[in-house]
Structure 1
Amino acid sequence: MSEASEAGASGGREPIAEAYDAIVDFYPPESMPDMVYGLVKLTYDLIGDQAIPAKVEPLYHDIRLPETEPRWSPGSDFWPMKMQTDVVVRGSAFAPGGAPVPSQMIRVTVGGQQKLIAVFGDRAVDWPARGDVRFGPPKPYTQMPIVWGNAYGGYDPRVPVGSDEMTVAMRGRLEYDHPGVYPRNPFGKGYVVVDEPAPGLSLPNLEDPQQLLRPETLITGDPRRWYLQPLPACYEFTNAMMFPRNAWLGVEAWFHPPSDAPLREVLLGALPTNWHELPVVAPPDPLPPPVLQEGPIGLVFPPLEAGTPIIIEGMHPERPHVGFHLPRAPKLDFFIEGKVYASQTQLTTVLIQPDLGRASLTYVARHWDLPRVFVPGIHANIPLALVIDDQHTVPYLCPPTLREQVKAGSPGQAGPERA
């Protein structure tokens, strides 16, 4: 599955201006709104240690539009209820000086917190018999993509689905799940359950240096022990089907860990200690804010402020590191029925592409105390706009009213505006 490549496209959207892309809308969708919000995206060229304003990348993956597929793609900018800041680094590890290396360490530092990844060239596994496993040396490389497909994970198809008669629901689940899947990263490689030589087995290229895979830890022997395996290491957006994000939806892995299991996700603050008690979330229930955070473990922060230093090491073909300080956040206000309402701007996503020398920042502003009830699809004219830095106005474009849709012969759900 190419979750990283999906997150790189804009879905055909064009920015509303060369310097920024923005929308203003009501929340929650498809119900009586109790809040307005604005999203603004800015892009910067990283020159030296400076972030210089550049032509903006468009807001990505507009989930408000019914034609948007897939509905939940990693990296969508359209999450107004994201309460923390995701830092995501997209690109590759580059061998220093361009000379092939068998392995190296790369690092992302945000403020005083760092996340390291041990990067290895391709490695084969010598596995002549049960219990006899040896790792081959890593092949030298000059460039290694930092994607979930190169991290620890995947699935062992040899794990049996069970001998008992399966229900229709269980058979349906096999369409997207399997007892041999590594819940933390179904996209990766190197996850092995069955102690039986597997020709062509590949080891992960990306590992957590604090939990390096070893021959004696390669084979779990029991799919119920998956939670004792190393955490996958990557800097990309996570997928909603990956643990622990799906735990916030009340989704259980095929083999749920015991309630007293020593989960590293709990130790690292990615899950609460009572995570077993998280309720199942189903429409029309609102999504819990933590499930909207798409950064990897270690790169999700309380809202980052301007001036925070970010340094990426080992992910540029020529420079040993790429660094910058977060620029000033835009001032965002709402203009509602002739009155200006000030709001607080929050940084939701920092997407850095160090080899391109580029960073895109997405901000949100919210306002709850509306002067009156507004109903998109009923009211033909809603006087709402987002004002950026007291200079740029982004008007709210009302969707067709139900009466207009009926008159046009296409009654249905009113869609969002396309700012």
Structure 2
Amino acid sequence: MPHALALWLHLITRRGAVRKVAALPPPMPARPQGDLICLYVTAPEASAAAMQLASELARARPGVTVILAGAEAGAAQPGAACIVPAPAMTVVAARAFLALWHPGLVLLVGAARDIAMPAALIAEAAAAGTALMLVEARFVLAASPARLPWFWPRALLRALLTRMDCILVPDQANAAWLAHLGVPADRVELSGSIREPVEPLSCTEAERAALALQLHSRPVWFAVAVPEAEELAVLEAHEKALLRAHRMLLVLMPQRVERAALLAEAVEARGHHAARRALEEEPEDDVQVLIVEDDSELGLWYRLAPVTWMGGTLLRGGAPRSPLEPAALGSAIVHGPAVAAHADEYARLAEAAACRVASTPAALADAVAELIAPDRVAALARNAWEAISGDAGVAEKIARRALAELDAALVRGAGQT
């Protein structure tokens, strides 16, 4: 049966149904001594997770060799792993790959959106008694089990997945997908997602403390990287918020620094007082808008402002800044509908109820005015922090699970000799 599955995949590969593996640097000339784990990247978007996992495996067990196959060409090579060419999707190539490297564990990272898994490698590894794991399995992004692409019959996919000793999924939705497909529940575990840790932007603590003292009890919101087309909407939102909290301060960072002087003039023309930090002007009590230009101070303003408007998200083609920046520093996030540049990050925050959507200038004004309430803004900020910190340690946990599978496979192999 494994050979039949591999042959079937080889035939559809020749017809171009499965993505081609990019050319990669040549493999090491010889297999190193000791235990070896093969990380096979099944989906391009899983390359970063595979790199992080390789580092965790090497850190957890320095004596193990990690090879990385299937990573995108040009991907940064981690010091913890050797990038090698992925085998062609044929029985002969898979068998030769396994004979060359003789891995104790083949760990597939990611589930491709078109569900194109290396069937030949899976079948041959299973036949050889090699341990098999799949992590970062995100099948819900691909298709419904009832409507798979024509080149992946449901029975074939189920047969491949049941050859896995363990499948780690990031959430319950993917676990349910696999259950619907018919994968045994005892093979599936929840793990969370492998994500790059979010490093909070820094600031000078003395500067933060001095400004916090100066602003004392004033409500503050920050509009970051605001394009010219959104400037009026931001100013009108601030004016509406001032009707509820007359001491509110808007810290406004234009997307283009040359707009700063014109913005200050526009604020004054609307009957409000503006200050420019670049001119060393202070946010005195009579200042309603503080215009800032230095993006090296982003960490300062995210810390001081309980609410951040993500500029460039009201209109298409914007969203220059990542929403994880303010989220990591406790600032609640308000954004518009144009979030394609950071779609995954916004989806992550939305799932955790960690941001507020304002699709129109009027909605932005309502959101800012509503979030004056400390309890409302605190709930958003808390959810955002939990969404970021909740995935901490997932790569380490998966690495420990993988090493346990490797050890179990080595014990089984020793018992058969």
**Structure 1 length normalisation: TM-score?**
0.23
Structure ranking higher in helix proportion: 2
Relative contact order (C-alpha < 8 Å, sep 6+): which is higher? 1
**Structure 2 length normalisation: TM-score?**
0.23
Q: Which structure: larger Rg?
A: 2
Structure ranking higher in strand proportion: 1
